[in-house]
Amino acid sequence: MSTLARRLVAEGLGTALLVAIVVGSGIRAERLAAGDTALALLANALATGAGLVALLVSLGPVSGGHFNPVVSLSALVQGTLAPRDALRYVLVQLAGGVCGVLAAHAMFGEPALAWSAQSRTGASMWWSEFVATFGLVGVGIGTLRSRPQLVPFVVAGYITAGYWFTSSTSFANPALTVACALTDTFTGIRPQDVPGFVLAQIGGGLAATLVFHWLFRKPAAVALAPASPLTGATSGATSAATTAATTSAD
């Protein structure tokens, strides 16, 4: 199997598992919380954060662990992902998201797919998604360039916090957003509300890419300094293993 094929499988599988974690833990939390929405949200957030760390650590070295079209778009803008590969990443992420919903529904005896009736719209929700995605991409870029070994934990921690500091519960991921339109459960979103979320997520991701790429730009003297073969190889391995740790998850 080619390197690209392995990367695409890792992205599709990672996104599917991420969505299964988000949707499945939401179903379980809602059933056990006995109407306590705060408790259900806490359980959903903790499960998502823990699952995201596991996915980024295990699959990140294969594909970069994007699991999120906005992260792939950010990599494209930064020049670390070719346009054709970025398109392929997005397609397998979207497909993986649908598979994740199917898997979660099968585990909990839900219909295979069901349009969500959960309303998530309005300026406050869109702004929440812009801010959530801006922060997700931003902390990913910043940590990747300063403490790359911590990317999975920083990103997952941010996503866990995002459940609580945003009114939208921080989807911050177009693949997850589209997938959640197919589940009429705790984490669902009405299909007609998806475009507003996705546009806000793309805007936040692009803004963060520009700002944080500028903030962490290397000085010209460093950029022009010759690198030893060992240094270059190490940098490449680190980048491949952690770029997508800028995932984004719920």
Q: Residue by residue, what is the 3-state secondary structure of 97-137? A: HHHHHHHHHHHCCCCCCCCCCCCCCCHHHHHHHHHHHHHHH
Q: Give me the pLDDT at residue 2, please.
A: 76
Q: Give me the pLDDT at residue 236, please.
A: 38
Q: Give me the pLDDT at residue 227, please.
A: 40
d(CA 203, CA 171): 14
Q: Give me the pLDDT at residue 230, please.
A: 36
Residue 55 forms part of a structural domain: yes
The pLDDT profile of the chain, 250 residues, written as one tens digit per residue, is 679 999 999 999 999 999 999 999 999 999 999 999 999 999 999 999 999 999 999 999 999 999 999 999 999 999 999 999 999 999 999 999 999 999 999 999 999 999 999 999 999 999 999 999 999 999 999 999 999 999 999 999 999 999 999 999 999 999 999 999 999 999 999 999 999 999 999 999 999 999 999 999 876 544 444 443 333 333 333 343 334 434 443 4
Q: Give me the pLDDT at residue 102, please.
A: 99
The secondary structure of residue 228, as a DSSP letter, is: P
Residue 239 and residue 60 in contact, taking contact as beta carbons nearer than 8 Å: no
Residue 224 forms part of a structural domain: no
Residue 233 forms part of a structural domain: no
Per the structure, how many domains does the chain have?
A: 1
Q: Give me the pLDDT at residue 89, please.
A: 99
Q: Give me the pLDDT at residue 217, please.
A: 86
Residue 54 and residue 65 in contact, taking contact as beta carbons nearer than 8 Å: no
Residue 232 forms part of a structural domain: no
Residue 167 forms part of a structural domain: yes
- Evaluate the CA torsion angle 34, 35, 38, 41 in order and state its sign: positive
Domain of 47, in residue numbers:
3-218+240-245
Q: Give me the pLDDT at residue 106, please.
A: 99
Residue 105 forms part of a structural domain: yes
Q: For the domain that residue 178 is a member of, what is the CATH number?
A: 1.20.1080.10
Residue 11 forms part of a structural domain: yes
Q: Give me the pLDDT at residue 245, please.
A: 39
Residue 152 and residue 243 in contact, taking contact as beta carbons nearer than 8 Å: no
Residue 223 forms part of a structural domain: no
